[in-house]
Chains A and B, each alone.
Chain A
Amino acid sequence: MSTQAYTTIEAIVAAKEIVVVCGPGGVGKTSVAAAVAAMAAAQQGGRVLVVTVDPARRLAQALGLSTAFSATGGATKRPATSGAQQVPPAAFVKAGSPPRGELWAEMLDTKQGWDNLVARHAPDRATALRILENPLYQNISGRFVQSHDYIAVERLYELHSEGAYDLIVVDTPPTRNAVDFLLAPERMADFFSSRLLRLLTVPYRSRLVDVASRPFYYVADRVLGTQFLEDIAEFFILFQTLSEGFVKRAREVERLLADRRTTFIVVSTLETVPVREAEAFMRLLPAKRLHLGGLVLNKVLPEYLTEARLADRAELLCSLAPAVAGRLCAPGGPLEEFGEGLVERVLAEVGTNFNNIAVVARREAAQRSELSGSFEVVASAPELDEDVHDLAGALQLGRHLWSAGPGRL
Chain B
Amino acid sequence: MHPEPAVLARKLLFVTGKGGVGKTTISAGLALLASTHGKRTLVCEMDAKGDLASCFESGPTRFEEREVAPGLFAMSMDPEASLRQYLSLQLRLPRAAGIGPMARMFDFVASAAPGVREIVSVGKLCWEVRERHYDMVVVDAAASGHIIGQLAAPQAINQLVQVGLVRQQTDWMLEILSDPEVSGVLAVATPEEMPVTETIELAERLKEETTVSLAAVIVNRVLPELFVTREEQAFDALRQPAATELLAAQLGGRPEPLLDAARLMVRTRRSRASHLERLRAALGEHGGTHAGAHAGTHTGTQGSLEGGPHSNAPGGGERGAPMLYVPYLFLRSSGLRSTRQIASALAAELEAGLEPGQEADLEPGQEAGLEPGQEAG
Provide the residues of chain B in CB contact with A274, threshold 8 Å: 20
Q: Are B197 and A56 in contact (CB under 8 A)?
A: yes
Taking A222-B165, A328-B246, A351-B258 as known contacts, 20 extra A-B pairs with beta carbons closer than 8 A to each other, sorted by chain A number, are A56-B194, A61-B194, A135-B160, A143-B114, A143-B152, A174-B146, A196-B104, A200-B112, A216-B105, A219-B102, A225-B163, A307-B257, A338-B233, A338-B237, A342-B231, A346-B235, A350-B261, A353-B261, A354-B258, A359-B331
Interface centre among A176, A271, A349, A359 (most CB of B within 10 A): A349
Stretch from B125-133, B263-271, B279-287, B342-350 forming part of the interface with A: B263-271
Stretch from B6-14, B176-184, B248-256 forming part of the interface with A: B248-256
Interface centre among B100, B144, B250 (most CB of A within 10 A): B250
Q: Are A177 and B113 in contact (CB under 8 A)?
A: no
A82 at the interface (CB under 8 A from B): no
In the A-B complex, the 9 residue pairs with the smallest Cβ-Cβ separation, listed nearest first, are: A25-B19, A26-B20, A225-B164, A387-B193, A225-B163, A334-B242, A356-B330, A215-B101, A338-B234
A204 at the interface (CB under 8 A from B): no
- From residue 147 to 196 of chain B, which have CB atoms closer than 8 A to chain A? 149-150, 152-153, 156, 159-167, 192-195
Q: Are A140 and B114 in contact (CB under 8 A)?
A: yes
Select from chain B the residue with minimum beta-carbon distance to A29. B19
Q: Which of A136, A232, A271, A349 contacts B226 (CB 8 A)?
A: A349
| Distance (whole angstroms) from the CB of A316 to the closest CB of chain B | 6
Q: Are A357 and B330 in contact (CB under 8 A)?
A: yes
Q: List 7 A-B contacts (CB under 8 A).
A: A135-B159, A139-B114, A139-B115, A145-B142, A219-B93, A219-B98, A307-B257
Provide the residues of chain A in CB contact with B252, threshold 8 Å: 313, 316
- From residue 133 to 183 of chain A, which have CB atoms closer than 8 A to chain B? 135-136, 139-140, 143-145, 173-174, 176-177
Select from chain A the residue with minimum beta-carbon distance to B267. A385
Count residues of chain A with CB under 8 A from any CB of chain B: 92
Provide the residues of chain A in CB contact with B24, threshold 8 Å: 273
B109 at the interface (CB under 8 A from A): yes
Q: Are B161 and A225 in contact (CB under 8 A)?
A: yes
- From residue 330 to 364 of chain A, which have CB atoms closer than 8 A to chain B? 333-335, 338, 342-343, 345-347, 349-354, 356-360, 362-363
Q: Are A352 and B255 in contact (CB under 8 A)?
A: no
Q: Which of B98, B113, B152 contacts A136 (CB 8 A)?
A: B113
Q: Which of B18, B49, B257, B264 contacts A26 (CB 8 A)?
A: B18
Select from chain A the residue with minimum beta-carbon distance to B91. A222
Interface centre among B21, B143, B258, B372 (most CB of A within 10 A): B258
Select from chain B the residue with minimum beta-carbon distance to A228. B161
For the complex, give the distance between the alpha carbons of A49 and B255 in Å: 46
Provide the residues of chain B in CB contact with A191, threshold 8 Å: 111
Q: Are B250 and A324 in contact (CB under 8 A)?
A: yes
Please report whether the interface of chain B is mostly helix, strand, loop or mixed according to DSSP: helix
Q: Given the interface contacts A387-B193, A387-B194, does A225 sit within 8 Å of B167 by beta carbon? A: yes
A327 at the interface (CB under 8 A from B): yes
A210 at the interface (CB under 8 A from B): no
Q: Are A346 and B49 in contact (CB under 8 A)?
A: no
Provide the residues of chain B in CB contact with A173, threshold 8 Å: 145
Provide the residues of chain B in CB contact with A363, threshold 8 Å: 332-333
Q: Are A61 and B197 in contact (CB under 8 A)?
A: yes
For the complex, give the distance between the alpha carbons of A221 and B240 in Å: 79
Chain A residues close to B by CB (< 8 Å)? 24-27, 30, 54-56, 58, 61, 135-136, 139-140, 143-145, 173-174, 176-177, 191, 194-197, 199-200, 215-216, 218-228, 231-232, 236, 269, 271-274, 277, 302, 304-305, 307, 309-310, 313-314, 316-317, 320, 323-324, 327-328, 333-335, 338, 342-343, 345-347, 349-354, 356-360, 362-363, 383, 385-387, 389
| Distance (whole angstroms) from the CB of B113 to the closest CB of chain A | 6
For the complex, give the distance between the alpha carbons of A351 and B261 in Å: 9
Q: Are B111 and A196 in contact (CB under 8 A)?
A: yes
Select from chain A the residue with minimum beta-carbon distance to B83. A223
B95 at the interface (CB under 8 A from A): no
Provide the residues of chain A in CB contact with B359, threshold 8 Å: none
Provide the residues of chain B in CB contact with A56, threshold 8 Å: 18, 144-145, 194, 197-198, 201
For the complex, give the distance between the alpha carbons of A352 and B372 in Å: 16
Q: Are B165 and A349 in contact (CB under 8 A)?
A: no
B361 at the interface (CB under 8 A from A): no
Provide the residues of chain A in CB contact with B197, threshold 8 Å: 56, 58, 61
Interface centre among B112, B117, B164, B372 (most CB of A within 10 A): B112
For the complex, give the distance between the alpha carbons of A225 and B20 in Å: 40
B57 at the interface (CB under 8 A from A): no
Q: Are A194 and B107 in contact (CB under 8 A)?
A: yes
Q: Are B332 and A350 in contact (CB under 8 A)?
A: no
Provide the residues of chain A in CB contact with B319, threshold 8 Å: none
B238 at the interface (CB under 8 A from A): yes
Q: Are A223 and B165 in contact (CB under 8 A)?
A: yes
Provide the residues of chain B in CB contact with A310, threshold 8 Å: 257-258
B87 at the interface (CB under 8 A from A): yes
Q: Are A359 and B332 in contact (CB under 8 A)?
A: yes
Provide the residues of chain B in CB contact with A199, threshold 8 Å: 104, 108
Q: Which of B156, B258, B333 contacts A272 (CB 8 A)?
A: B333
Provide the residues of chain B in CB contact with A356, threshold 8 Å: 224, 330, 365
Q: Are A320 and B226 in contact (CB under 8 A)?
A: no
Q: Which of A221, A271, A354 contacts B262 (CB 8 A)?
A: A354
Q: Are A228 and B334 in contact (CB under 8 A)?
A: no
For the complex, give the distance between the alpha carbons of A236 and B161 in Å: 16
- From residue 22 to 42 of chain B, which have CB atoms closer than 8 A to chain A? 24
For the complex, give the distance between the alpha carbons of A342 and B235 in Å: 10
Provide the residues of chain B in CB contact with A309, threshold 8 Å: 253
